[in-house]
Structure formats: C-alpha cells, structure tokens
Chains A and B, each alone.
Chain A
Amino acid sequence: MKIIDLVNKLGLEILSGNNGLDRTVSGGYTSDLLSDVIANAEANNIWITLQTHKNVMAIASLKDLSAVILINDNKPEEDTREQSNSEGIPILGTKEKAFEISAKIYELLNNNSKVNL
C-alpha cells in the first residue's frame, strides 16, 4: 500500500513531504520514545507519534520509515517540516488519538495483504 492510499482512505492531512506520497508502507510503529523507535521500528513502517521536533525526521530517515503521522492534531515544527520536504518523507496529521489511528491503519494493511494473497 502507498502512503497516498492511507491519506485518502483515512482523511489524513498532508503537512509536508508531498514528494514522498508514493512511498510504500508495509507496517507501523506507535511510540513517543525515540530510543524505542530507533531500536525497534522497521524499514517502510509508518510512525505514529505526538513528537513534533526535528529529531523525528532524523530517525525517520535513518530507519527508512515511509511516513510520520502526528496524532491529536499536533503540527510539526518549521525545521521538522523542512527536513521532511528535503528527505521526501511525508508528515501527515490526524485529530485522532494514537490507539484509534493505529487500529485503522493495522486493519487497512491487514486487509490489503489478504487481497494480495
């Protein structure tokens, strides 16, 4: 599944990194602890978090994550946005809470992989 499919199906707001909407997403990781994400997220995961500072993009890039979703209507800081644009890793926004959005993404990815079988 592509990031743009998730954006359309879940009504996510595109906050930056429009040039990366074609990236593939294969799973997700929900955490606000950066040491947890750097150690445990996998490449092509979408990262669900409330952290908005620039280090989020450093980790997204180092781990080859496909996109970042900011929950609870959080917005990225300006330098976070800039790095998202230059790396081509989108930052998406939702008013939903981490639990709800994670569940919805899990269901979409799970159903999608069933269809592909």
Chain B
Amino acid sequence: MLEETISLRYKIAGGDFSNAGYASSQIKKRLQKLNIHQKLIKKIVIALYEAEINVVAHAYNAVIIVNIDNDKICVNIKDNGPGIPDINQAMEKGYSTASSKIREMGFGAGMGLSNIKKNSDKLEIRSKVNEGTEINIINYRIYPRNENN
C-alpha cells in the first residue's frame, strides 16, 4: 500500500492528433510500475484516452493530473476551450459535434463521454461556454461491499 498520494501531471495540446494518446500511454506505464490492479488500469486507460481525444478534438489545451491514493485514483482534466453548452446532451451516446475530418479518422461517433462514464466509478463534469471544461474521473481501488459493481 502507498503511504502518500502520488501525483502525475501532463499537458495536452489541442488539435495535435499525432501525439494524442501519449499522456495516456505514459500514465499507463506509471500505473503498471506501481502495481495497480490490471482491471483498474484498463478502465482508467479507456477513460483517459477518450478524454485526451476530446481535448485534442475540441479544446485549445489542457492539463491532466492523476492522483493515486490508497483507496482511489482520480484523474482530473481541465481544458481551455469552447466548453459544453448542454452536458446532458453531450453525455448521450451518439451525440457529437466533431468535424467531418475527425469522423473520417474513426473518432466523433459520440461514444467518448459515454465510454468515460462507463469506465468511472464516479464522474464529475463542469463546463463553462467560451472558457473550458473540467472533468474528474474517480475510480476506487477497493470496492465497498454494499456497492453494486
């Protein structure tokens, strides 16, 4: 067990599709080195990659902070960007505002936020139009017995 919080920090540039996935890959390696459970790493990697693509596709830049505690792993992604006018609509599977170029690459199918939700124990999204979006992806390392998971 860890004795204190380990914090990782990465920057992502908007529009930089050629480096999309780099931060997710670095974080995956760090989590593997820390002997985090393989199933938990898989969940975090899916959510993180989708969040990274959202930043690359929609925002100007962002910072990812991963806090690894004894009981949970929190991924915070805060971007400077256009923001999301209607979060409920954005959460709907299949809803997307991605450009046709992004869709041709196999992204923008409106699966991003729903994939993130599916792979988080707890998801928080705050957004302000013309300022940016902040998401918190929380995954617990030990599931409480009374929770349905």
Contact = CB atoms under 8 A, between A and B. Distances in A.
Interface of A: 32-36, 38-39, 49, 51, 53-55, 58-59, 61-63, 79
Contacts of A35: 50, 53, 106-107, 109, 111-112, 115
B10 to A, nearest CB: 14
A36 B105 contact: no
Interface string B58-83: 00000000000000000000000000
Chain B, interface SS category = helix
B109 to A, nearest CB: 5
B24 interface: yes
Given A33-B111, A35-B107, A58 B50 contact: no
A36 B109 contact: yes
Given A33-B111, A36-B111, A53 B25 contact: no
Contacts of A63: 45
A63 B45 CA distance: 8
Contact of A34 (B18, B24, B106, B118): B106
B21 A53 contact: no
B12 interface: no
A38 B115 contact: yes
A72 B24 CA distance: 30
How many chain B residues sit at the interface, stated as a range, is: 20 to 34
Interface of B: 17-18, 20-22, 24-25, 28, 45-46, 49-50, 53, 105-107, 109, 111-112, 115, 118-119
Contacts of A33: 106, 109, 111
B113 to A, nearest CB: 10
Q: Please list the 9 inter-chain residue pairs (A to B) with the smallest Cβ-Cβ separation, ordered nearest first.
A: A58-B21, A35-B111, A34-B106, A39-B115, A51-B106, A32-B106, A33-B106, A33-B109, A62-B45
Contacts of A38: 46, 49-50, 115
A59 B46 CA distance: 10
Given A35-B50, A35-B107, A62 B25 contact: yes
A113 B29 CA distance: 31
A34 B50 CA distance: 10
A11 to B, nearest CB: 26
Contacts of A53: 17, 105
